Amino acid sequence: MNGLQLVLAIIAGLSLACAQDVCACTSAVVSGRASRDGRSLLWKHRDSGFKDNFVGKVEATDSTMAYVALFNAGDKDLAEAWIGFNEAGFAVMNTASYNLAPDTAVVKDREGMVMSRALSRCRTVDDFLVILDSEMERGRPAGIQANFGVTDTYGNCVYVEASDHNYKVYPIEEYGRGWMVRSNYSYSGTTGKRLGEVRHDNAVHLIEESIVSGLSAETFTEGLSRSFYHDGENKDIINCKEYKRVSDRGEYIPRRSSCASVVVEGALDGEDPRSGTVMWVAIGSPVVSVALPVTIDSIPERLQKDASTGRSRLCDEVNRRRDLAFPRKGKDGKWIIDMEYIRGVLPQLKSESASSYRGFQRKNN
C-alpha cells in the first residue's frame, strides 16, 4: 500500500467510524390502520454530532407553505429541517444511509435542505417525488444518501430510499404490515455494511410487542426511545437492576449521540391538517427528556430558540442530564451508560410526558 492509499484508507475508516458513532438515527413509518387512534405516525430518533436542537417555524409566503421542524442550533436561516410537517399535513424526516452507493460524491449532506424545500412546497408524497426528480435532473449529484420517511393527509405512508441519482419508493401497503422501520441502511442498498442493523431489529421487536394495544406517539417517545433492549441478547437492561453501568456499544436505540425523539401524528380524514397534525418532541437526549406537543400555530417556549443562547432551554436542561446518564468514556474508548442514574430519573420524566399527552387537546375536538 503506497502513501496515498494509506491516507485514503485512514479517511475511509474515520468516515465509517463517524457513521457508526454519530449519524445513527432509528425511525419508523406507521399507517393509520396500525395506530391506536387511526392516525399516521412518523418517528425519528435522531443521532447527530449536533447535540443542540430547537423547534422553529418558517412562515408562509405567496408561493410557499408554513411549516414547523426540528433544526440544529446555529441554523439562523432555518435552512435545514431534520423532521417536520407543514400546514397541509405533509410530513418528512430522514435517516442517513450508508449502503446505497460509494460515498465519493463531491456534493454531500443536502438532506436537510431538501427536506426544508419539501416542507415549504409539498402536499403529497407524489409532490415529494417531484422534488427529488428535480434535485436529480441537474446533471450533478443530488448530495443525498438517505431513507426519507414521508406521510401526507391522503393516507400515503412511504419510505423513499434515495441516493445521488435515483431512488426507490416503499409504500406501506406493499412493503409493510401497517408499519416499517429503517435505521442506517437501505433495503435496496448493495454496497457496504448494514449499519444500525441491531437498532433496526430492536425497533422491530419493540413495535411487534406494542402492536396489540395499537401504536401511538407515546409508543416511540416513551417506549422505544427509552428502551435499552438488545435483540441479540433478547433483554432490556433497563429492567435488569444488576446492570449498573454498561458500555455504549452503539447497539441500543438510545446513545450518547441521541439528540431528539420526534413523532409527527397525522390528521384524520376530514380534519383540518393545521389543527389535526401534531408533532411530539422529546428534545435533547430522549432517554432523559420529556415530550411536548407542537402544532403549526403553537410551539412551546421551552422548545424554541432562546434569543440569548440560540438554543432551546429544554434542550440545555436535558443535555445536563445526558452528561450524567453518559458521564465518561471507559478504557475501551466507549461511553459509559449510568443505568442507575437513568432508572432514578425515569419515573418523574415519564410522568411529565404522560401529563403532556393527557392534557393535549386538538382545537377542532
In a domain, 182, yes or no: yes
In a domain, 258, yes or no: yes
What is the number of domains present in the chain?
1
What pLDDT does residue 14 have? 35
In a domain, 16, yes or no: no
Range of the domain at 223: 24-359
CATH number where 177 lies:
3.60.60.10
pLDDT beyond 80 at 108: no
pLDDT beyond 50 at 347: yes
In a domain, 10, yes or no: no
In a domain, 337, yes or no: yes
Q: Where are the beta strands (DSSP E) in the chain?
A: 26-30, 41-47, 53-58, 67-72, 83-86, 91-96, 146-151, 157-162, 167-171, 179-182, 229-230, 235-236, 245-247, 258-265, 278-283, 291-294, 336-338
Region 198-206: mean pLDDT is: 98
pLDDT beyond 70 at 9: no
pLDDT beyond 70 at 123: yes
What pLDDT does residue 5 have? 40
What pLDDT does residue 24 have? 84
Name the average pLDDT for the chain.
92
Separation between Cα atoms, residue 306 and residue 218, nearest integer Å: 27
The vertex-151 CA angle with 147 and 156, nearest 5°, equals 110
In a domain, 14, yes or no: no
In a domain, 35, yes or no: yes
pLDDT beyond 80 at 164: yes
In a domain, 11, yes or no: no
3-state secondary structure (DSSP) of residue 152: coil
